[in-house]
Structure 1
Amino acid sequence: MSTPRATPPRVPPAERGATRIADRVVAKIAAQAAREALAATPGGPPRPAAPPAHATVTVHHDIARVRVSLELDYPSDLAAQCAAVRSQVVRRVEECTSMSVPEVDLDIEHLHSAHTRSAAARHRKLR
Protein backbone atom coordinates (compact mmCIF):
# COMPACT_ATOMS: atom_id res chain seq x y z
CA MET A 1 0.00 0.00 0.00
CA SER A 2 1.44 3.39 -0.99
CA THR A 3 1.29 6.42 1.20
CA PRO A 4 -0.55 9.48 -0.15
CA ARG A 5 1.68 12.18 -1.54
CA ALA A 6 1.91 15.36 0.45
CA THR A 7 0.66 18.39 -1.45
CA PRO A 8 3.36 21.04 -1.66
CA PRO A 9 2.43 24.29 0.07
CA ARG A 10 0.89 26.93 -2.20
CA VAL A 11 3.24 29.78 -3.04
CA PRO A 12 1.62 33.22 -3.24
CA PRO A 13 1.61 34.61 -6.83
CA ALA A 14 3.92 37.49 -5.93
CA GLU A 15 6.59 35.01 -4.78
CA ARG A 16 6.46 32.68 -7.83
CA GLY A 17 8.59 34.79 -10.12
CA ALA A 18 9.08 38.17 -11.66
CA THR A 19 7.53 40.03 -14.57
CA ARG A 20 9.76 42.44 -16.44
CA ILE A 21 8.27 44.99 -18.81
CA ALA A 22 10.79 46.23 -21.36
CA ASP A 23 11.57 49.95 -21.44
CA ARG A 24 10.40 50.17 -25.08
CA VAL A 25 6.98 48.77 -24.11
CA VAL A 26 6.59 51.40 -21.39
CA ALA A 27 7.71 54.03 -23.93
CA LYS A 28 4.97 52.94 -26.34
CA ILE A 29 2.37 53.22 -23.58
CA ALA A 30 3.65 56.71 -22.69
CA ALA A 31 3.65 57.90 -26.33
CA GLN A 32 0.11 56.63 -26.87
CA ALA A 33 -1.04 58.34 -23.67
CA ALA A 34 0.52 61.62 -24.87
CA ARG A 35 -1.30 61.33 -28.21
CA GLU A 36 -4.57 60.64 -26.36
CA ALA A 37 -4.10 63.75 -24.23
CA LEU A 38 -3.32 65.93 -27.25
CA ALA A 39 -6.23 64.58 -29.29
CA ALA A 40 -8.60 66.02 -26.69
CA THR A 41 -6.97 69.43 -26.28
CA PRO A 42 -8.21 71.23 -23.13
CA GLY A 43 -10.77 73.87 -24.02
CA GLY A 44 -10.79 72.98 -27.69
CA PRO A 45 -12.55 70.66 -30.10
CA PRO A 46 -11.28 67.11 -30.54
CA ARG A 47 -8.64 66.84 -33.24
CA PRO A 48 -9.10 64.46 -36.17
CA ALA A 49 -5.53 63.14 -35.89
CA ALA A 50 -3.28 63.20 -32.87
CA PRO A 51 0.01 65.02 -33.37
CA PRO A 52 3.22 63.01 -33.24
CA ALA A 53 4.57 62.08 -29.83
CA HIS A 54 7.60 59.92 -29.10
CA ALA A 55 8.75 58.70 -25.71
CA THR A 56 11.86 57.29 -24.14
CA VAL A 57 11.77 55.59 -20.77
CA THR A 58 14.30 54.45 -18.22
CA VAL A 59 13.03 51.87 -15.74
CA HIS A 60 14.85 51.13 -12.51
CA HIS A 61 13.09 48.62 -10.27
CA ASP A 62 9.44 49.71 -10.46
CA ILE A 63 10.14 53.38 -11.17
CA ALA A 64 9.77 54.73 -14.71
CA ARG A 65 11.33 58.02 -15.73
CA VAL A 66 9.65 59.25 -18.90
CA ARG A 67 10.70 61.78 -21.56
CA VAL A 68 8.15 62.66 -24.25
CA SER A 69 8.90 64.62 -27.43
CA LEU A 70 5.91 66.56 -28.75
CA GLU A 71 4.65 68.73 -31.55
CA LEU A 72 2.04 71.25 -30.37
CA ASP A 73 -0.35 73.66 -32.01
CA TYR A 74 0.29 77.38 -31.68
CA PRO A 75 -1.18 79.70 -30.61
CA SER A 76 -2.70 77.69 -27.79
CA ASP A 77 -2.39 77.21 -24.07
CA LEU A 78 0.90 75.34 -24.07
CA ALA A 79 0.93 74.97 -20.27
CA ALA A 80 -2.51 73.34 -20.29
CA GLN A 81 -1.50 70.95 -23.07
CA CYS A 82 1.69 69.99 -21.21
CA ALA A 83 -0.21 69.47 -17.95
CA ALA A 84 -2.74 67.26 -19.76
CA VAL A 85 0.05 65.19 -21.32
CA ARG A 86 1.89 64.77 -18.02
CA SER A 87 -1.19 63.66 -16.09
CA GLN A 88 -2.35 61.28 -18.85
CA VAL A 89 1.12 59.71 -19.19
CA VAL A 90 1.43 59.19 -15.43
CA ARG A 91 -2.08 57.74 -15.17
CA ARG A 92 -1.78 55.35 -18.14
CA VAL A 93 1.73 54.09 -17.34
CA GLU A 94 0.82 53.49 -13.70
CA GLU A 95 -2.44 51.70 -14.56
CA CYS A 96 -0.93 49.56 -17.35
CA THR A 97 2.37 48.62 -15.67
CA SER A 98 1.90 49.24 -11.92
CA MET A 99 5.11 51.29 -12.04
CA SER A 100 5.60 54.55 -10.25
CA VAL A 101 6.15 57.58 -12.52
CA PRO A 102 7.72 60.37 -10.43
CA GLU A 103 8.48 62.63 -13.39
CA VAL A 104 7.55 63.19 -17.00
CA ASP A 105 9.91 65.47 -18.92
CA LEU A 106 8.50 67.08 -22.05
CA ASP A 107 10.49 68.23 -25.07
CA ILE A 108 8.45 70.46 -27.37
CA GLU A 109 10.20 69.94 -30.69
CA HIS A 110 7.87 71.89 -33.00
CA LEU A 111 5.07 74.41 -32.79
CA HIS A 112 2.55 74.32 -35.61
CA SER A 113 0.22 77.14 -36.51
CA ALA A 114 -3.07 76.36 -38.23
CA HIS A 115 -1.59 77.88 -41.41
CA THR A 116 1.54 75.69 -41.44
CA ARG A 117 -0.45 72.55 -40.55
CA SER A 118 -2.90 73.07 -43.46
CA ALA A 119 -0.02 73.86 -45.85
CA ALA A 120 1.78 70.67 -44.79
CA ALA A 121 -1.41 68.66 -45.31
CA ARG A 122 -1.81 70.12 -48.83
CA HIS A 123 1.83 69.31 -49.60
CA ARG A 124 1.36 65.67 -48.50
CA LYS A 125 -1.75 65.34 -50.72
CA LEU A 126 0.15 66.60 -53.76
CA ARG A 127 2.83 63.93 -53.46
Structure 2
Amino acid sequence: MSSTPPRATPSRATPPRVVPADRGATRIADRVIAKIAAQAAREALPAPPDRAAAAHATVTVHHDIARVRVSLELDYPSDLAAQCAAVRRQVALRIEECAQMSVPEVDIDIEHLHATYARPAAGRDRRLR
Protein backbone atom coordinates (compact mmCIF):
# COMPACT_ATOMS: atom_id res chain seq x y z
CA MET A 1 0.00 0.00 0.00
CA SER A 2 1.50 3.13 -1.04
CA SER A 3 0.26 6.23 0.56
CA THR A 4 0.49 9.47 -1.24
CA PRO A 5 1.35 12.50 0.76
CA PRO A 6 -1.55 14.95 1.18
CA ARG A 7 -1.50 17.87 -1.19
CA ALA A 8 -0.68 21.14 0.32
CA THR A 9 -3.17 23.83 -0.56
CA PRO A 10 -1.52 26.96 -1.74
CA SER A 11 -1.88 29.65 0.85
CA ARG A 12 -3.38 32.85 -0.39
CA ALA A 13 -1.85 35.93 0.93
CA THR A 14 -4.41 38.42 2.09
CA PRO A 15 -4.14 41.66 0.18
CA PRO A 16 -2.87 44.60 2.16
CA ARG A 17 -5.54 46.85 3.63
CA VAL A 18 -6.17 50.02 1.69
CA VAL A 19 -7.00 53.16 3.55
CA PRO A 20 -10.58 54.27 2.75
CA ALA A 21 -9.41 57.59 1.31
CA ASP A 22 -7.23 55.71 -1.19
CA ARG A 23 -10.00 53.37 -2.38
CA GLY A 24 -11.80 55.93 -4.52
CA ALA A 25 -14.83 58.13 -4.28
CA THR A 26 -18.55 57.78 -4.76
CA ARG A 27 -20.13 60.50 -6.83
CA ILE A 28 -23.87 61.03 -6.84
CA ALA A 29 -25.16 62.71 -9.98
CA ASP A 30 -26.89 66.07 -9.67
CA ARG A 31 -30.06 64.65 -11.25
CA VAL A 32 -30.28 62.03 -8.48
CA ILE A 33 -30.10 64.72 -5.81
CA ALA A 34 -32.73 66.69 -7.77
CA LYS A 35 -35.06 63.69 -7.68
CA ILE A 36 -34.55 63.34 -3.93
CA ALA A 37 -35.31 67.06 -3.51
CA ALA A 38 -38.47 66.92 -5.64
CA GLN A 39 -39.78 63.89 -3.75
CA ALA A 40 -39.05 65.59 -0.42
CA ALA A 41 -40.93 68.70 -1.58
CA ARG A 42 -43.96 66.57 -2.47
CA GLU A 43 -43.77 64.91 0.97
CA ALA A 44 -43.76 68.29 2.73
CA LEU A 45 -46.91 69.60 1.04
CA PRO A 46 -50.52 68.57 1.34
CA ALA A 47 -52.21 67.08 -1.71
CA PRO A 48 -51.33 69.11 -4.83
CA PRO A 49 -53.98 71.37 -6.34
CA ASP A 50 -56.04 70.02 -9.24
CA ARG A 51 -54.21 70.24 -12.57
CA ALA A 52 -51.01 71.28 -10.77
CA ALA A 53 -47.66 70.13 -12.05
CA ALA A 54 -45.66 68.05 -9.59
CA ALA A 55 -42.85 69.78 -7.74
CA HIS A 56 -39.54 69.60 -9.55
CA ALA A 57 -36.02 70.59 -8.58
CA THR A 58 -32.68 71.55 -10.03
CA VAL A 59 -29.49 71.00 -8.09
CA THR A 60 -25.88 72.07 -8.32
CA VAL A 61 -23.42 69.96 -6.34
CA HIS A 62 -19.90 71.07 -5.53
CA HIS A 63 -17.95 68.56 -3.41
CA ASP A 64 -20.41 67.69 -0.62
CA ILE A 65 -22.50 70.86 -0.83
CA ALA A 66 -25.82 70.87 -2.69
CA ARG A 67 -27.55 74.07 -3.76
CA VAL A 68 -31.20 73.37 -4.52
CA ARG A 69 -33.96 75.21 -6.38
CA VAL A 70 -37.48 73.76 -6.10
CA SER A 71 -40.39 74.83 -8.32
CA LEU A 72 -43.90 74.49 -6.87
CA GLU A 73 -47.53 75.15 -7.63
CA LEU A 74 -49.58 75.98 -4.53
CA ASP A 75 -53.16 76.65 -3.50
CA TYR A 76 -54.17 80.24 -2.84
CA PRO A 77 -55.18 81.64 -0.44
CA SER A 78 -53.00 79.72 1.98
CA ASP A 79 -49.98 80.35 4.17
CA LEU A 80 -47.36 80.39 1.42
CA ALA A 81 -44.48 81.21 3.78
CA ALA A 82 -45.25 78.25 6.04
CA GLN A 83 -45.50 75.88 3.08
CA CYS A 84 -42.18 77.13 1.66
CA ALA A 85 -40.51 76.77 5.08
CA ALA A 86 -41.80 73.19 5.37
CA VAL A 87 -40.45 72.38 1.91
CA ARG A 88 -37.04 73.90 2.75
CA ARG A 89 -36.77 71.86 5.97
CA GLN A 90 -37.87 68.59 4.36
CA VAL A 91 -35.62 68.97 1.30
CA ALA A 92 -32.52 69.80 3.37
CA LEU A 93 -33.23 66.98 5.83
CA ARG A 94 -33.84 64.35 3.13
CA ILE A 95 -30.70 65.25 1.10
CA GLU A 96 -28.52 65.26 4.22
CA GLU A 97 -30.04 61.93 5.24
CA CYS A 98 -29.86 60.15 1.87
CA ALA A 99 -26.71 61.61 0.31
CA GLN A 100 -24.71 62.93 3.28
CA MET A 101 -24.46 66.35 1.64
CA SER A 102 -24.90 69.68 3.34
CA VAL A 103 -27.62 71.93 1.99
CA PRO A 104 -26.92 75.56 2.88
CA GLU A 105 -29.83 76.93 0.86
CA VAL A 106 -33.04 75.79 -0.77
CA ASP A 107 -34.54 78.37 -3.12
CA ILE A 108 -38.27 78.11 -3.80
CA ASP A 109 -39.91 79.25 -7.04
CA ILE A 110 -43.70 79.42 -6.88
CA GLU A 111 -44.57 79.00 -10.52
CA HIS A 112 -48.33 79.10 -10.25
CA LEU A 113 -51.01 79.77 -7.64
CA HIS A 114 -54.29 77.84 -7.90
CA ALA A 115 -57.30 79.72 -6.52
CA THR A 116 -59.21 77.41 -4.19
CA TYR A 117 -62.45 79.40 -4.51
CA ALA A 118 -62.54 78.89 -8.29
CA ARG A 119 -62.83 75.10 -8.03
CA PRO A 120 -66.27 73.55 -8.35
CA ALA A 121 -67.45 71.93 -5.15
CA ALA A 122 -67.09 68.16 -5.10
CA GLY A 123 -70.26 66.26 -5.83
CA ARG A 124 -72.29 69.28 -7.02
CA ASP A 125 -73.84 69.44 -10.43
CA ARG A 126 -72.73 72.66 -12.13
CA ARG A 127 -74.96 72.34 -15.21
CA LEU A 128 -77.62 74.96 -15.75
CA ARG A 129 -81.14 73.64 -15.79
Q: With structure 2 as the length reference, what TM-score do the two structures score?
A: 0.75
Which residue of structure 1 lines up, in the alignment, with residue 109 of structure 2? 107
Alignment of 1:1-127 (within 5 A): 6-39=13-46, 47=47, 52-116=54-118, 118=119
Write 1 or 2 for the structure with the bigger share of helix. Answer: 1
Q: Give me the CA root mean square deviation.
A: 2.6
Deviation at 1:48, TM superposition (A): 7.2
Distance 1:89 1:49 in 2: 20
Contact 2:76 2:115 in 1 (8 A): yes
Which residue of structure 2 lines up, in the alignment, with residue 125 of structure 1? none
Aligned residues: 112
Distance 1:72 1:18 in 2: 39
Output one character per residue of 1:27-75: Cα deviation in whole Å (capped at 9) or x when no partner: 0100010011012xxxxxxx37795211000000111000001111111
Question: Rg bigger for which structure?
Answer: 2
Residue type of the alignment partner of 2:16: P
| 12 and 28 in structure 1: CA distance in 2 versus 1, 3 angstrom threshold | same
Gaps of 5+ in 2: 1-7, 121-129
Output one character per residue of 1:72-111: Cα deviation in whole Å (capped at 9) or x when no partner: 1111111100000000000001111001100000011111
Q: With structure 1 as the length reference, what TM-score do the two structures score?
A: 0.76
Gaps of 5+ in 1: 40-46, 120-127
Contact 2:49 2:74 in 1 (8 A): no
